[in-house]
Amino acid sequence: MSTLLEDTTVQSTSVPNNLLAGKTGIILGVANKWSIGWAIAQSLANAGMRLAFTYQGERLKENVEKLTATLEGDIPLYPCDVTDETQVDDLFKNLAGDFDGLDCVIHSLAFAKREELAGEFVNTSKEGYLLAQEISAYSLTAVSRAALPLMEKRGGGSIVTLTYYGGEKVVPNYNVMGVAKAALEMSVRYLAEDLGSKNIRVNAISAGPIKTLAASGVSGLSNMLEQMKEKAPLRRNIEAAEVGDTALFLASHLSRGITGEVIHVDAGYHIKGF
């Protein structure tokens, strides 16, 4: 017996499904077609979710417009730089005019100054430390709080953020971002406890390294991708679509018993002690 799906190591769900039919979601953190947020968008849209997007600034607006034009239906776009809390609050006020409630929030953004992602962590500046925390960790709490009224309207929902192994173990050069991811992962747990009684689940996906804008120019990324291939139990790198499909699971009824969790989509890399 042979099928079209045989003898491929990686199968991504491009087969349309209805796991998210009737649900609404918003995705923060799409910059271009390589963005993990965009791979998540495709998995969610493919499962029938009605989506809205934010863009960080006017510079990225056109990118996001062009990408979302390839999806079906009318897709609202809003500006949102998370360093401006009025933009975060306005986002959900505006969304309330377009969507009758919200089932899902995808938080797929992070930032640290480039100079903090090289050299020794001991040299991290106070300003660089606080900026990484503000954008990469605190924003999840601000966004979750602002999204609450719309999610309560639906009797619950699912919030998903993106993290990385460098938040649990020391990874060369990840530095201040590792500390921010540790704070982000702990925020997931505290938020899960607070919002659980409202039937809102909060989880993180810890993705293996993927070549995206945020990963480009990271010195040693190619080496890390090679190391993954040798060391990870699956002996390969991961694709953004695999992260997208895990986000689909976390957004769906299938994961209804899971909250406060960090799911590793890393070909098993994090289990290795050698």
Residue 274 burial class via C-beta count within 10 angstroms: exposed 0-12, middle 13-18, buried 19 and up: exposed
- Residue 213 in the binding site for ligand NAD (CB under 6 A): yes
Specify which residues 51 forms β-bridges with. Answer: 25
x/- letters, 109..148, toward ligand NAD (CB under 6 A): xxx-----------------------x-------------
The verdict on 210 binding ligand NAD (CB under 6 A) reads: yes
Q: Is residue 35 near ligand NAD by the rule CB under 6 A? A: yes
Q: Is 164 one of the catalytic residues? A: yes
129 is catalytic: no
DSSP 189-215: HHHHHHHGGGTEEEEEEEEPP--SGGG
Q: Does 105 bind ligand 0WE (CB under 6 A)?
A: no
Closer of 83 and 94 to ligand 0WE (Cβ): 83
Taking CB under 6 A as the criterion, which residues in 144-173 touch ligand 0WE?
A: 164, 171, 173
Q: Find out whether 252 and 20 touch, Cβ atoms under 8 Å.
A: yes
Cα 217 to Cα 213: distance, rounded to the nearest angstrom: 8
| Contact predicate 102/77, CB 8 Å | no
Torsion angle (degrees, nearest 10) of CA 40, 43, 44, 50: 110
In the complex, the smallest distance separating the C-beta of residue 150 from ligand NAD, rounded to whole angstroms, is 19
Binding positions for ligand 0WE, 224-253, rule CB under 6 A: 224
| Sites of contact with ligand NAD (CB under 6 A) | 29-31, 35-37, 56, 60, 80-83, 108-111, 135, 162-164, 207, 209-210, 212-215
Which positions are annotated as active-site residues? 164, 174
